[in-house]
Structure 1
Amino acid sequence: MDIKEIQNLIKFVAKSGASEVKLEMDDIKITIKTGSDADVTYVSQAAPMQMAPVQQAAPAPVASEAPAVAKAPVEIADNYITVKSPIIGTFYRKSSPDKPSFVEVGDSIKEGDTLCIIEAMKLFNEIESEVSGTIVKVLIDDSSPVEFDQPLFLVDPS
């Protein structure tokens, strides 16, 4: 069973509303528990024996690969640039609930400005702008799960 299959299983269990799921196969044993602040998944394999706790707010490929800068933006028809998510996780517009949003519609941004935070496996990754311009639209609601390469913002580069 590879990491993609495990991530899909975690997503399925989270959506199903089940509080605990155990899966045992010949060489692998998986337990997924939900209902706390975050889903917890334990994976163990027969050889070599290892227990790997995985904190899940939303699945991420590997925590150490969490980049701090958004992937290359893609041009769209109306001369806007789409800033996309570089990782899977939970999208946050603010650093904490009592702080203001990093950017609002109409704000001018420059290259290197922090646009948002994406939480992946309890790591908070600041997503920085690779372009200068004006925020035209925020495409994701605060505290929403995001997928890899999902559009987050529209930026007018002029």
Structure 2
Amino acid sequence: MELKDIQNLIKFVAKSGASEVKLEMEDIKITIKTGSEDQKGETTYIQQLPAMTAPQQQMMAQPVETSAPTVAVEAAEDSKFITIKSPIIGTFYRKPSPDKPMFVEVGASIGTGDVLCVIEAMKLFNEIESEVSGKIVKVLVDDASPVEFDQPLFLVDPS
């Protein structure tokens, strides 16, 4: 994991409102704690771990609760739809700028390559293009909300 990735993770955790996040990968362990109202600031611990076997890594994996909002979609509801997910972490925007109209609305027909939204990461605005054609059924994220990698953004009816 590169320093830039760690910095992005710290900024995302700070914006999300989570009080603590732990991330364990093959050779690195990261703990990010954000301060409460009476204790301002962030604490980040990075620990280099010795190489482990797969069973040891599974024993180390622990779910961590965060206060970040999550989106739950019923499996039966979206079984016939295609889910468009976030390719990066950052802040989700439905408009190119505050004074412009939204890229897409529910019910809009989209084609491959159409811009659906932008995700801001490190002051860079990344246009997210559709990889499918169809009709927008549901927008799963509120405007100006933080999103995680692989988080569902839109449901598309391909028919």
Normalising to structure 2: TM-score of the pair? 0.58
Separation in 2 of the partners of 1:110 and 1:103? 11
Deviation per CA, 1:54-81: give whole Å up to 9, x if none.
xxxxxxxxxxxxxxxxxxxxxx853100
Give the C-alpha shift of residue 24 in structure 1: 9.8
Q: Which residue of 2 aligns with 1:102?
A: 103
Structure 1 unaligned segments of length 5 or more: list them.
26-75
Unaligned runs of 5+ in 2: 18-34, 47-76
Matched positions, count: 108
The correspondence of residues 62-81 of structure 1 with structure 2, limited to 5 A, is 78-81=79-82
Q: Distance in 1 between matches of 2:93 and 2:118?
A: 5
Give deviations 1:10-60, integer Å, cap 9, x for gaps. 5555533565457799xxxxxxxxxxxxxxxxxxxxxxxxxxxxxxxxxxx
- Give deviations 1:79-105, integer Å, cap 9, x for gaps: 100000000000000001111100000
Distance 1:21 1:111, change over 3 A: closer
* Cα distance change, pair 13–106 in 1 and its aligned pair in 2 (3 A): closer
The equivalent residue for 2:121 is 120
1:127 and 1:24, CA in 2 relative to 1: closer, same or farther beyond 3 A?
closer
Residues 5 and 125 of structure 1: CA distance in aligned 2, closer, same or farther (over 3 Å): closer
Q: Distance in 1 between matches of 2:102 and 2:11?
A: 30
Distance 2:148 2:45 in 1: 28
TM-aligned CA distance change 1:133 to 1:88, over 3 Å: same
Aligned to 2:153: 152
CA, structure 1 residues 110+147, in 2 after alignment: closer, same or farther (shift >3 Å)?
Answer: same
Q: Give the structure with the higher percent helix.
A: 2
- What is the Cα-based RMSD across aligned positions, in Å? 2.9
Name whichever structure is richer in strand by fraction: 1
Aligned sequence identity (%): 63
